[in-house]
Amino acid sequence: MEKNELEKLKDIAVKVRKGILNAVYNGKSGHPGGSLSVADILTVLYFKEMNIDPKNPKMQDRDRLVLSKGHCSPALYSVLANRGFFGVEELKTFRNLNSRLQGHPDMKNIPGVDMTTGSLGQGLSVSNGMAIAMKLDNLNSRVYCIMGDGEIEEGQVWEAAMTSSKYKLDNLCVFVDNNNLQIDGTIGDVIGLNNIKEKFVSFGFYALEIDGNDIEQIVEALEKAKTIKDKPTVIIAKTVKGKGISYMENQVGWHGKAPNEEEFNIAIKELTK
Amino acid sequence: MLDKKVATRKSYGLALKELGEKNQNIVVLDADLSGATNTNIFAKSYPDRFFNMGIAEQDMFSTAAGVASLGKIPYASTFAVFAAGRAYDQIRNSICYPKLNVKICATHSGVTVGEDGATHQMLEDIGLMRGLPNMTVISPSDDTQTKWVIEEISKIDGPVYVRLARLETPIIYDENQKFEIGKAVQIGDGTDATVIATGVTVSEAIKAMENLKEEGINIRVLDIHTIKPIDREKIIKSAKETKRIITVEDHSIIGGIGSTVCEVLSEEYPTKVTRMGIKDTFGRSGKGIELMGYFGIDSNAIINEIKKEI
């Protein structure tokens, strides 16, 4: 990737993070930690990787994205707004009574949202369904599914993993946002997942591990995924929860809490420098 | 009429194959029960559009949602208890909330499942499914109606729950019978009582009507094949024209058509209603037909109830 493009993507990721903070601060509610950890992945997907058109959000042969960890809607909304699906000002209405920016993604009312999510563990199954339908229609489109690491504690994820593999869904690329924190503590303290990569490999996936806050590594992993045939790809993205805001990084307390005015101002200043 | 018997699950399998021939957009999913739900008939004809998801109902219904989001019309089948019960959250959040075009065809509803017993006898699904916004709930009563329903729901843009049965039940309607989603079928025009039935209990209600006629008691039967949206008009009309309203269903008396009818009448035409059905208990093993007697939802139970009330 050219240096210019990399710098451009990094700048966009900063804007996306500002949008996340604007949404959660103005909405006085939401999930900043996991939104910030997944911001770089979503930035690369919507600004480099995916075949989409903000002017034609329902284009039939577009790529699809399922944000299975639906509580990180501020990240998806911020990326969509910055990409031109709707105005960035609208982010400030997040979670308000008359806003279409619902707490969790709502495909019926928000331009660019491909699937309604929120109840964890269902997005991989839905993504499989999309990938199957694309193959039935001979579309060259791809499906991207983003799950949280805590989320893969849901049993349905592993039912779905069997399906991805059985139907050889090489048009499916899954991210696990592995920030190692969930509401009640670290993944290890809450239940323990042992080796996530080995788990997916044993279910028939091609698996990669990357630094999920490193834009170059995300780009390379996505390139690699497109060369894998007859099996789905999973990218285990090691990330930092709250990435980019010093006092939020690796702090479980920022899973689902809005910053106050002072905290918001500090956050914006940190992102601006 | 009422001589030849077919299980509605069988009618479903046959109708699905015919529909698959006419409409290339039909995709079928099953969770390792295709022989019992009869989706294997479709699978044999259209293997490329049939997906066996293994014993993973939650995955199956969410996958169906994804398939539907690209414009396909998925029909997903398993036993009612594993559809409405086990996959309730998937049906709620991934199908009904985004109003995706998934047809949930659930076989083996009610105590008439028979020998498998309580764990496999779904008695709460009407209540669970009709409480979901955007959902249409249909419980066909015979072979003719089921075949019509399976094609008709492909024309509805949105989720539908179809409640099918394992037990072989009489064919009630001939091929010329016209049906309409949301419109109950009135059989007979007696004014001594109305028996409101759905699914496997409709033919039992008709048998009761014919027996009672010989004793000079004239009732009518309302076949409520569409439970949601409910036919308010016909229920209120019968309440006005007849002396008694009795509901009978192979489902819990909590949340099913008994409850639905009470909701309609208490708001618009308060009437005493007797609810026949499974009375807040689990089912048990036995032959399907025996269990209808045991739980008091067969023609004899209906006759006794009407004689008691009149």
> What's the CATH code of the domain at A19?
3.40.50.970
What the block records as the tokens of B130 is 């009709």
For B64-89, the pLDDT digits (tens) are 999 999 999 999 999 999 999 999 99
Asked if B94's CB is within 8 angstroms of A133's CB, the reply is: no
Asked if A129's CB is within 8 angstroms of B64's CB, the reply is: yes
Give the pLDDT of residue B47. Answer: 98
Q: Which domain holds residue A223?
A: 3-272
Chain A hits for B98, Cβ within 8 Å: 106-108, 115-116
Q: Using the 8-state DSSP alphabet, how is residue B280 labeled?
A: S
pLDDT tens for the 310 residues of chain B, in order? 678 999 999 999 999 999 999 999 999 999 999 999 999 999 999 999 999 999 999 999 999 999 999 999 999 999 999 999 999 999 999 999 999 999 999 999 999 999 999 999 999 999 999 999 999 999 999 999 999 999 999 999 999 999 999 999 999 999 999 999 999 999 999 999 999 999 999 999 999 999 999 999 999 999 999 999 999 999 999 999 998 999 999 999 999 999 999 999 999 999 999 999 999 999 999 999 999 999 999 999 999 999 998 8
What the block records as the tokens of B96 is 């009904």
**Collapsing DSSP states into helix, strand and coil, what is residue B95?**
helix
Burial letters B179-217, b for 16+ CB under 10 A, else e: bebeebbebbebebbbbbbbbbbbbbbbbbbeebeeeeb
DSSP code per residue over B134-164: T-EEE---SHHHHHHHHHHGGGSSS-EEEE-
Distance separating alpha carbons of residues B109 and B126, to the nearest angstrom? 10
For B208-223, the pLDDT digits (tens) are 999 999 999 999 999 9
Residue among A146, A152, A174, A130 nearest B65 (CA): A130
Determine phi and psi for B153, rounding to 5 degrees: -70, -15
- Residue A247, amino acid: Y
* Cβ pair B92, B132 in contact under 8 A: yes
Give the pLDDT of residue B243. Answer: 87
Min Cα distance A67 → chain B (Å) is: 13
Task: Count CB atoms within 10 A of the CB of residue A191.
Answer: 11
Q: From residue A145, how far is each of A67, A174, A192, A234 by CA, in Å?
A: 6, 5, 22, 9
Nearest CB among A107, A118, A134 relative to B70 is that of A134
Asked if A167's CB is within 8 angstroms of B65's CB, the reply is: no
For A181-204, the pLDDT digits (tens) are 999 999 999 999 999 999 999 999
Give the pLDDT of residue B1. Answer: 64
Give the pLDDT of residue A42. Answer: 98
Position A1 confidence tier, pLDDT thresholds 50, 70, 90? confident
Nearest CB among B58, B69, B98 relative to A130 is that of B69
Q: How many CA atoms lie within 13 A of B258 on its CB side?
A: 23
Task: Give the max Cα distance, chain B.
Answer: 58
Domains of chain B and any CATH numbers:
5-170 (3.40.50.970), 185-309 (3.40.50.920)
What the block records as the tokens of A35 is 């939104």
Residue in A with minimal Cα distance to B88:
A119
Give the pLDDT of residue B6. Answer: 97
Distance separating alpha carbons of residues A10 and A48, to the nearest angstrom? 12
Q: Across residues A140-159, what is the average pLDDT?
A: 98
Asked if B98's CB is within 8 angstroms of A125's CB, the reply is: no
Task: List the Cα angle B123/B90/A230 in 5-degree steps.
Answer: 130
Give the pLDDT of residue B240. Answer: 98
Number of domains comprising chain A = 1
For residue B63, what are the contacts with CB-CB under 8 A and spacing of at least 6? A125, A126, A128, A129, A132, A160, A163, B29, B51, B53
Residue B151 catalytic?
Answer: no
**Helix residue ranges per DSSP H, chain B:** 8-22, 34-37, 40-45, 57-69, 80, 88-90, 125-130, 143-152, 201-214, 232-241, 257-268, 288-294, 299-309
Residue A273 in this model has a pLDDT that exceeds 90: no
Distance separating alpha carbons of residues A231 and A166, to the nearest angstrom? 9
pTM of the model: 0.97
Task: List the Cα angle B143/B144/B146 in 5-degree steps.
Answer: 65
For A207-240, the pLDDT digits (tens) are 999 999 999 999 999 999 999 999 999 999 999 9
Q: Which of residues 43-82 of B touch A (CB under 8 A)?
A: 48-49, 51, 53-54, 56, 58-72, 74
β-strands A172-178, A143-148: how paired?
parallel
% of chain A residues with pLDDT over 90: 99
Residue among A64, A126, A147, A117 nearest B102 (CA): A126
% of chain A residues with pLDDT over 70: 100
